[in-house]
Structure 1
């Protein structure tokens, strides 16, 4: 039996779309040219954040996703059993700090704007920040606590979503690359061509992450989604409580919102359930160059030690990098492509894809089935100028 929808990409966004579509009663097949959840998802930190987003469409998508994630994971545990539905969900909150007067003023303005639209952004004194994070530098001049920030293990979460797709009769195939699409006499998508044959379907979802631009160009509907590289350091296991939540310097927000191609680094430190500490973050547009740059790693380490001096003598276990799908206007691309009936996109989330995935999958499924979406889809339209005008991704 042919599926209704083929999802190209078995990372977090593809998995979330496939789960939501299958929950709506559609037959879904998920394809990935590599291993399951092995690309951008495997290189992610698992952040589910509202703290780093200014008021606007992305923050609204983040709020809905933050609310949906624990509900979805609980429902999947009930459906699949705990053995197949473990994602290490931790609603541990986040802490954003400033260490200079200018940064403190900027952080206060940003938090006030978020509170105006209903986000819990609690400004606290430096002494209270030290109580939350005892190993934090005493140079903090201002702090904002975000109790809604959370974290999960991204590979586990993606495989949980895909397990639900399989349990509902869908199929997930690794090592299968989508080469193009077939069309019917009316010009609609009628199937996908792969390196293992053609699969008939009535729609395909482009959830190829940083490779979404090249996929779209291959099927004749180019979009301007580019790879943006980031790197992360991982320490050896530390005693419990060394770092208790996600903590980052206020300059992280500016780096997230920037469109600069050159290297930018900002301080992000957070613990994992395994006891290791993740240290980031960097952003640069270098195409798909995966060269490990020691200067970047040194900069990340230097800034992390400035925020948490206790890390100075902690061994680094490994470092890794990944590519994130970047759209020039910093908004995801979610919805139908009007140039090719049957082609849908779910990409462009850059470093926020893990957190935004639950709402993205639901939004795409609502649009596909004609249900009333909880989130306004207009800002994420495919046919907006930043996505289809100008130089498209090659």
Structure 2
């Protein structure tokens, strides 16, 4: 069964795909987004919602600079989404902490921030705070915390609301969103591309952008891409809603705008398994209580595992196919943080605009000599 044509087809309806679609729509393109099924492994429905700069690109300057640009663009991006949809994504960019209970890990991270500072200069600022000084400014911090770093540029949003707002924004900008649309095949044909869906629907597009998250690897080779992504499991705890606000935001403990506390930060190479594990959940609870002992009396109401999308070296990939120049691949594990740039500068890059950013450092050619790709 054949069904229509599109100027640009985006495979993947998560935060990355929708942000990219919004930027292309604003540039005047006709865009169709093909979103998978509800039971697919969806990073956008299980992420932590951070808008985070600390530690990003300490040893890869292009990523540090790209992330800094994205973090700076978030206030205008959030405001623009609210203007388009009438919905606030609950951006709070009042600064964030990284807490440490291990002195060696604390020292290593402080050194990494020093390298990041050397790359970004006055576009980045951070503080390294000893445990005792931290407890003087935040009396509720536990005695096991040996120190923390603080970056005033860090923040967070409501990630599920962001996903819904992006869907509304894409539709409001004239985009087409096809749900429960699992693309099983894509082939170059006659100067364009033929997409085949699981239900045998066929669609043609002049250009294609592969933003399929963990579904990327199944289609990448068909378009001449060498990038293969892998899953990395993170597990989360969600507490009951609290009347009082936490006095801090961290990369592992954050209070969402509705009042509940989200606790996470684990990393496990567990393959395509997004189930939660009792041992890890207990470790998350223990970490939260070490950092902020008052959480010991708070009830956990939900827990889940979710899979991050990781490239071979962990950094974003923005690639044009060597075989088919109108095919692009976009993948990263920082889709929330990078969303403002995916909705603006990345569209210029896909369109080949003269003022497009130079994304050569993120091309998949860096994997050419690596078996990891």
TM-score, normalised to structure 1, is 0.85
Shift of 1:125: 4.8
Which of 37, 52, 55 is matched with 1:52 structurally? 55
Once the two structures are superposed, the pairs formed by residues 289-304 of structure 1 within 5 Å of their partners are: 289-304=273-288
Counterpart for residue 145 of structure 1:
150
* CA RMSD of superposed structures (Å): 2.4
In 2, distance between residues paired with 1:113 and 1:390? 28
Residues of 2 paired with 1:359 and 1:285: CA distance?
29
Within the alignment, does 1:306 sit opposite 2:293 as a pair? no
Which deviates the most, 210-219 or 269-278?
Answer: 210-219
Quote how far apart the aligned CAs of 1:13 are: 0.3
Q: Secondary structure at the match of 2:361?
A: helix
**Mapping for residues 252-267 of structure 1, pairs under 5 Å:** none
The answer on 1:22 being equivalent to 2:4 is no
Q: Deviations over 1:83-137 (max 9, x none)?
A: xx32111113101233444344334323333333231212345455335544211
The aligned counterpart of 1:324 is 308
Query: Per the alignment, in what secondary structure is the counterpart of residue 264 of structure 2?
Result: strand
Output one character per residue of 1:353-383: Cα deviation in whole Å (capped at 9) or x when no partner. Answer: 2112222343431112122456430121133
Match of 1:163 among 157, 168, 186: 168
Distance 1:184 1:276 in 2: 50
Residue 88 of structure 2 aligns to a residue in which SS? coil
Query: Is the contact made by 2:23 and 2:342 (CA closer than 8 Å) also made in structure 1?
Result: no
Correspondence 1:97 to 2:99: yes
Q: 1:74 to 1:54 in 2, by over 3 A?
A: same
Number of aligned residue pairs: 364
Unaligned runs of 5+ in 2: none
In structure 1, how many angstroms separate the alpha carbons of the residues matched to 2:274 and 2:335?
20
Indicate the residue corresponding to 2:44 in structure 1: 41
Deviations 1:43-75 (A, max 9, x none): 011001001314322221211111222212212
- Number of the residue aligned with 1:234: 238
Q: Which whole-Å deviations, capped at 9, do the CAs of 1:231-276 have from their partners, x for residues lacking one?
A: 11111112322x233225xxxxxxxxxxxxxxxxxxx111111111
Question: What's the secondary structure of 1:282's corresponding residue?
Answer: coil
Segments of 5+ residues of structure 1 without an aligned counterpart are 249-267
Query: Partner of 1:44: helix, strand, or coil?
Result: coil
2:371 is equivalent to residue 390 of structure 1: yes
Q: Is the 8 A contact 1:192 1:204 kept in 2?
A: no
- 1:225 partnered with 2:229: yes
The structure 1 residue matched to 2:74, chosen from 43, 66, 69, is 69
